[in-house]
Chain A
Amino acid sequence: MTELDTEVLVVGSGAGGATTAVTLAEGGRDVVVLEEGPWIAPDRAEAFSLEEMALQYRHHGSSAALGNPPVAYAEGRCVGGSTEVNSGLWHRIPGELAERWRHEYDIDGFEPETLDRYAGLVEGWQSVSPLPGEAPASSAALADGADRLGWRAVEFPRVYRYPQGGRAEKQTMTRTLLPRAVGAGARVQPDSRVHRLLRRNGRVTGAIVRRRRPDGTTEQLTVRADHVVVCGGAVHTPALLQRSGLRRGIGGGLKMHPTIKLVARFPQAVDHDDVPPHRITEFSPDIAIGGSASRRGHIALALADGGADATPADWEQMFVYYAAIRSDAGGRVIAVPGAATPLVSYRITDADLSRLARGLVQLGRALLEAGATELHPSVRGGTVARTPGDLARWWDEIDRSTANLMTVHLTSSVRMGQAPGRTGADSWGRVHGVTGLRVNDASLVPDAPGVNPQAAIMTIAARNADHLLDELRS
């Protein structure tokens, strides 16, 4: 059995883990990062392709939260985590929500100016910038439809660099923070799954790890650390904590953005290479409206959901759009003894279904205004809408047995704050009831933010990593 010693062990290398690692390593601390998935070069697989799903997604992208209806979800499983496979859209935490969370969960040091400072810092690291030039047609359709209806729509910046004359580069963790962390001395070990944390006298002292060698064989590794920071995401962080005997406030408050889609047919061909940067923000933060990955396979899946011909000849005139909601519902993550993957459940409420229907109808209105000729909802037996009058039928057609829901945003399964009984960690991510252990990822975000959560995760992670660094220095 191999042993490894470090001052700080970071479990997970996504938005939270990489931010933690770079802050601590550049602050002069000894850091080891363990990542369950492989290290895949950023350009190896085409975005949203089958190859990317096989190489970089957990479960090939086929996970589901059990419930009525179930909610399919996807998350990254590779060095860099979901930052390697997401759309890279960047939304700061809405100020009003941050204030609500600060009061509701009694979070220290969560003032707007503090969050703005860390958001600005991270945006500099990640080259957050708008798309140069005009937005593609698929994106402009959202802006145009909103404009005609007198609604607000915004083109959001993304974590992209646009070199002059070169190809746009998404600033994933393997391109930005992880190389910096390694440059500052951090050791990043891919293919290393943490089985459980080691505890002694109320203190976490390291982890038992199963590492896959390049030849496919595995070995057990024991990592001893003065401090452990778990950044495995909203599903796998609580599962690891539960496997390690920590259950109070852990795994019970899972939140997500349940999402419903439609396929729009336009009179002319549209782009299919990227995710639209425009969002209709008229109904934010409760309902977010935007565009999705729209390769031929995605269009076919969304068409098949509604029972339409999944392989139309004019598929290049089609595009997939979505309405995502902030949900009243909650879910659970439960580590099951003997199983590598926890059980995830989510209970959609009637109010959620109503909000999803409203979101889909409003999305439909905007797209018809923008010139779409046909809308196919991801609803079993759903009406194909060709006029605004057709959209009214969706209110009755969307129910628990017909709606196909999915999400790529999962949060809040540990929750930060001083509020006793409602959080799994304190205001800085220190897990209640044990020392030497912090969480620093999407699990801490107190509620689903109603927007892509990467900015919220990295902002909070940078703030908490600074707090740990100060503690180590003192």
Chain B
Amino acid sequence: MLRIEREVVHALLDTADTEHRARVEAWVEGCLDDMPELLRAGVQAESLLVTAWHRLRGTDLGSLLDAMERNPIGLVQQYPRLFRSLVLFGDLELAAPAR
């Protein structure tokens, strides 16, 4: 998992519980590592672009992800949606009593 991807995960998490954050991060990392190679390569390429934008423009990561999600280009939208989905599912399923 790239550094920016860890930062994205943490930007999407609300909780201050460090152990829980680490568990969710590990879940997302497992999912990314296990993705089909070609999809993973696409996500990594987008992560590099997000890194560049975030660093060069100094944009807050949360705002950048929100803006990406509103972008009309499907590939750009998919990036924050992927991370939001993984973080949300991991956050709830790792925190809640099993159901």
Residues on A facing B (Cβ under 8 Å): 46, 49-50, 54, 59-60, 62-64, 68-70, 272-273, 295-298, 300-301, 304, 310-311, 336, 339-341, 343, 380, 400-401
Residue numbers in B under 8 Å from A300 (CB-CB): 88-89, 92
The 9 closest A-B pairs by CB, nearest first: A341-B36, A297-B89, A50-B93, A60-B31, A297-B93, A297-B92, A339-B37, A60-B34, A296-B92
Q: Are A301 and B90 in contact (CB under 8 A)?
A: no
Question: Please, what's the 1-or-0 string for B61-99, where 1 marks a CB less than 8 Å from any CB in chain A?
Answer: 000000000001010011000101110111011101011
- Asked, given contacts A300-B88, A304-B88, whether A60 binds B36 with beta carbons under 8 Å apart, the answer is no
Beyond known contacts A59-B31, A297-B88: 16 more, CB 8 A cutoff: A49-B93, A54-B30, A60-B35, A62-B31, A64-B39, A68-B74, A296-B99, A297-B89, A297-B92, A300-B89, A304-B85, A310-B88, A339-B38, A340-B37, A341-B38, A400-B74
Nearest chain B CB to A304's CB is how many angstroms away? 6
A341, B94: Cα distance in complex, Å: 28
Residue of B nearest to A404 (CB): B81
Residue numbers in A under 8 Å from B36 (CB-CB): 59, 63-64, 339, 341
Residues on B facing A (Cβ under 8 Å): 27, 30-31, 34-39, 72, 74, 77-78, 82, 84-86, 88-90, 92-94, 96, 98-99
Residue numbers in B under 8 Å from A273 (CB-CB): 99
A59, B96: Cα distance in complex, Å: 23
Task: Tell which of B37, B74, B98 touches A69, judged by Cβ atoms closer than 8 Å.
Answer: B74
Residue numbers in B under 8 Å from A50 (CB-CB): 27, 89-90, 93-94
Residue of B nearest to A273 (CB): B99
Task: Tell which of B72, B78, B90, B98 touches A70, judged by Cβ atoms closer than 8 Å.
Answer: B78
Q: Are A46 and B34 in contact (CB under 8 A)?
A: no
A68, B74: Cα distance in complex, Å: 8
A19, B94: Cα distance in complex, Å: 36
- Asked, given contacts A50-B94, A70-B78, whether A301 binds B89 with beta carbons under 8 Å apart, the answer is yes
A149, B40: Cα distance in complex, Å: 46
A313, B89: Cα distance in complex, Å: 16
A380, B84: Cα distance in complex, Å: 14
- Asked, given contacts A46-B98, A50-B93, A339-B37, whether A301 binds B88 with beta carbons under 8 Å apart, the answer is yes
Residue numbers in A under 8 Å from B89 (CB-CB): 50, 297-298, 300-301
Task: Tell which of B37, B38, B82, B96 touches A296, judged by Cβ atoms closer than 8 Å.
Answer: B96
Nearest chain A CB to B46's CB is how many angstroms away? 14
* Pairs across A and B, CB under 8 Å, 21 listed: A50-B93, A50-B94, A59-B31, A59-B36, A60-B31, A60-B34, A62-B31, A62-B34, A62-B35, A62-B82, A63-B36, A64-B39, A70-B78, A295-B93, A300-B88, A339-B37, A341-B36, A341-B37, A400-B74, A401-B72, A401-B74
